[in-house]
Structure 1
């Protein structure tokens, strides 16, 4: 028998009919391609080949004699898959809201302690053809880190399941000890544990006192650090009263939502915060709005209990290795960015305190008679209603577990989402747990149904809180194309609301930019008809290509041409004339102005208005330039001209502008006397 640690056993002692102590997951799947039968049958056959990879699934609890010490795990003689893998269908139409309600009902039922402490339920009947798996495991067996070990055993990284080692052949059964032998073994283990725990507590107590002293009185080495500023400001440990801090019932409400992990990372990068800080800020924004709607927002900030893993890197033990810290949610701050920065500050302080006390936190303990004393105390606490009066140290629980950034498959079915389902307790009736998967943050909100009957409304505020943060970051740092991204998020279905990535916004913007030249090209195509009027005056001009460019040249090229060829006066006048005059008038006017004066310099003045005018002046040089290379030829012609011609060009540009503004109709008549 492997005895449970003090932390593992505590989850057994805390369990009552009103406070089930199991954790769960809600996994959404896309059916394997080509599957025609029941997914339940398909999954059960597959699971039987992986059961041996999760040893805790073949263990059950064994009590010590007279319940003197923590129980232990022993091999189960038989694992009844009919009990452990259930099947159900959603009522029609099979919506996501119906799935959430069903998960709340399933999560209200405690596990049978005479069997291995786990149970799966395959859920079919979705209107869109998906399937789901609700997987429930007692918290005495696993924590978040151990849960990921179970995930790795069941899931693959491709649609084709990997080959696994077959289960070992069962060995000879050991004879079951009689009561006397068990009693002697238990007493021996109890004495050994008591002595071991006695020294562990003494060592932990000394380390804790040293740690607390170091926090309150910085050492000389700490004072030399740039960030040292005396004793740290300890976090507030007295939460305000909220509707979540009550005695709970045995019924559960549940809601799940997915948000964009990419957006959360962009917010963190822009503000210098971590993903955990952003997740806390999203939860804080949703809680703030929910309480405002209920006219129950306290003046002081809500406090969250945040679990901290004590698991070392690479540790895959199937047990609990957790501690926790208290963190302010800054719900008294209206501005989302200020709220985020406040959360970061208090979380950093709490993490620093939790970090130095981590090694001093006892991971095991022994208490004589704990198996019957502690459950009785929990039942008394629940029936007394003390949780309605006594503050519990936190208003809500918020937990964030990193998940795989790559797609997973189970029995050939692609995993679409991994929603956590967690534990409310007396005094803390709401638990918000987040797990990342691919580019999403999958939120699972679990609450007492009596305390939070409208949990779906709270879940909807999560997306609103993310949008609020994105808009604030866009305004301050210009990271997001906020309006387009927010509109896309708002159009998502409520049950699967998911923030879109900024890549889609950029793609839409690029599409708009690509469409602009096409809109501008239409007037250019209409110009050759107007150009026919000036053909007689400039037979060698090649009007069609030159004038097709006129609108683009007038709007986009004029400033550049003017800067290169003409003085400041021409720079100012040419673009103004080109933009204010109609294309037809510009075409008729430009040749008149250019031909009457300084023919060599005409390209410099007239280029902003109509490149065709310059082409009509020097037939020998401009004949090849009448086609596309007009830009290359014009500078060469301009450089070969005398400075006097340059002086005339601005004057003529001014005259052309004046004539256009004064009498557009007379412009055509003025052209022939050139």
Structure 2
């Protein structure tokens, strides 16, 4: 079966090169069930590999189609073509089996591209942690899923019941679940979607006005989907294909207390932690610019149109260009500046339809792609300096066949000219930060974890949180 690839997914495929693999990933930590035995990691791997049939999302890969005049299309492997053993792997850490060794392995595997001649995903069951936990690293091409879809997909095979068994692997086809979009016929499309399709002309008619509003805000250095005032920084260079990954989590209660005391949101506090940490890091390296850094903050459109992002995959992402206030010394001033910037950005998006948000966001990100292609990097200002995103996750403890999920850390995508990506995921009572950077361009990446911790303490002190 062959189906066309939507423009957003095609863009992720075409933008990819050896220096810029375009897959997202998650690193999960599980505590083994009581009495599981030393062979539990092997049995977990076998359970992940024992799948009667793989879901369509995990059987498709891109191919040029003669029927579509050479355009990219999804080709679906049948049972004879598909090799699950290539995608599900068993790995072990070298001694002493610290988190350091786990992060080193994650860094190396994350820097390797997914081959187009096979479905675009891999998963590793990893044993050898000296505390007995089992890790699972899963990467999936961004052409298949965005962060929200990936989170929902992983959640779909977890349960809040520690006694429940028989939970499938994330890639297993499950009876009664919704089919992928590629398998839906026109008769399956709900009436609301048809009404949306019939309203495309109205959206197109509103596009010029949305463009004018977005450009006006950009020219006035106000928050919108376009930034015209980001400074040049050490992050805005051509990157290599090697990656370094660092991760840590903090209690959500601490972030919530700062937000409550200051009248801001948890996402504002996350951005303020990142702002202060990056500021400290750049000061250490004598590389802090005089004007504020700008972060591209992805926003999931499913918040406004829930059918756009789901466990079936797909991409539904817009963006806000947030001024981080790295030119300000006081932590509280940075937090309030970020709060105002994000509020303005959300108000700007609220006046647009989802299609207009996607179009304006693509326009804002175009310079990040075009400058390297045209070899103009370093000659023009970057459209933003780094990427910071926050993907909501489960609010309660979850299990997979009795194994308790104790940590879930996002591993994301640095892009050419944007060597640092900070992605956060909430899980249970914790906010997990995953920092992914170019190994050459962002030295001593793990120092940012110390700075994040210091910055949260500074925010607590600045906002009067005891």
Query: Contact 2:409/2:432 (CA < 8 Å) preserved in 1?
Result: yes
Correspondence for 2:26: 25
Aligned to 2:246: 255
Query: Matched residues in 2 for 1:217 and 1:61: separation?
Result: 39
Structure 2 CA distance for aligned equivalents of residues 385 and 418 of structure 1: 38
Q: After TM superposition, list the pairs within 5 Å mapping 1:169-568 onto structure 2.
A: 204-212=203-211, 233=222, 236-311=227-302, 312-313=305-306, 316=310, 317-361=312-356, 382=372, 386-474=376-464, 479-480=465-466
CA distance in 1, matches of 2:100, 2:88: 23
> Which residues of 2 match residues 575-654 of structure 1 at below 5 A?
none
What secondary structure does 2:351 align onto? Answer: helix
Name the SS for the 2:388 alignment partner.
Answer: strand
Any conservation in 1 of the 2:223–2:322 contact (CA below 8 Å)? no
Displacement of 1:86 in angstroms is 1.3
Contact 1:156 1:162 in 2 (8 A): no
CA distance in structure 2 between the aligned counterparts of 1:461 and 1:241, rounded to whole angstroms: 22
Shift of 1:209: 2.0
Q: Distance in 1 between matches of 2:440 and 2:91?
A: 25
* Cα separation, 2, equivalents of 1:438 and 1:271: 23
Residue in 1 that maps onto 2:136? 133
CA 1:167/1:10 → structure 2, altered by over 3 Å: closer, same or farther? closer
Report if aligned partners of 2:29, 2:407 keep a CA contact under 8 Å in 1.
Answer: yes
Q: Cα–Cα, structure 1 residues 50 and 3, in superposed 2: closer, same or farther, change >3 Å?
A: same
The 2-side partners of 1:38 and 1:110 are apart by: 31
Q: Is the 8 A contact 1:60 1:76 kept in 2?
A: no
1:665 maps to none
Shift of 1:92: 1.1
Q: Which has the larger radius of gyration?
A: 1
Counterpart for residue 495 of structure 1: none
The runs of 5 or more residues in structure 2 that have no matched partner are 176-196, 360-367
Bigger mean CA offset, 406-415 vs 8-17: 406-415
With structure 1 as the length reference, what TM-score do the two structures score? 0.58
Measure, in 2, the Cα distance between the counterparts of 1:92 and 1:67. Answer: 53
Distance of 1:326 and 1:362 partners within structure 2: 13
Give how far 1:233 is off.
4.4
The reply to whether residue 69 of structure 1 matches residue 37 of structure 2 is no
Residue 428 of structure 1 aligns to a residue in which SS? coil
Query: Of the two structures, which has the highest relative contact order with CA contacts closer than 8 Å and spacing of 6 or more?
Result: 2
Structure 1 Cα separation of the partners of residues 349 and 357 of structure 2: 13
Question: In the alignment, which residue of structure 1 is the partner of 2:47?
Answer: 46
Q: What is the SS of the residue equivalent to 1:388?
A: coil
Superposition TM-score, scaled by structure 2 size: 0.83
How big is each residue's C-alpha offset from its partner over 1:303-339, in whole Å with a ceiling of 9 and x where there is no partner?
0001111222365241001111100000111111111
Cα offsets for 1:567-622 (capped at 9, x unmatched): xxxxxxxxxxxxxxxxxxxxxxxxxxxxxxxxxxxxxxxxxxxxxxxxxxxxxxxx
Cα distance, 1:164 vs structure 2: 6.5
Give RMSD over aligned pairs.
3.0
Tell me how far apart the structure 2 counterparts of residues 340 and 363 of structure 1 sit (CA, whole Å).
27
In structure 2, how many angstroms separate the alpha carbons of the residues matched to 1:7 and 1:107?
22
Give the CA deviation at 1:10.
0.8
Residues 63 and 282 (structure 1 numbering): CA distance in 2 closer, same or farther, change over 3 Å?
same
Q: Go from structure 1 to structure 2 and tell me whether the alpha carbon gap of 1:151 and 1:444 turns closer, same or farther (over 3 Å shift).
A: same
Question: Which residue number in structure 2 is paired with residue 2 of structure 1?
Answer: 3
Mapped to 1, the partners of 2:428 and 2:27 lie a distance apart of 16
Number of equivalent positions: 423
CA distance in structure 2 between the partners assigned to 1:323 and 1:428 by the alignment: 18
Deviations 1:225-262 (Å, cap 9, x if unpaired)?
A: xxxxxx99456532111110000011001100111110
Matched residues in 1 for 2:75 and 2:164: separation?
30
| Residues 239 and 393 in structure 1, CA contact (< 8 A), matched pair in contact too | yes
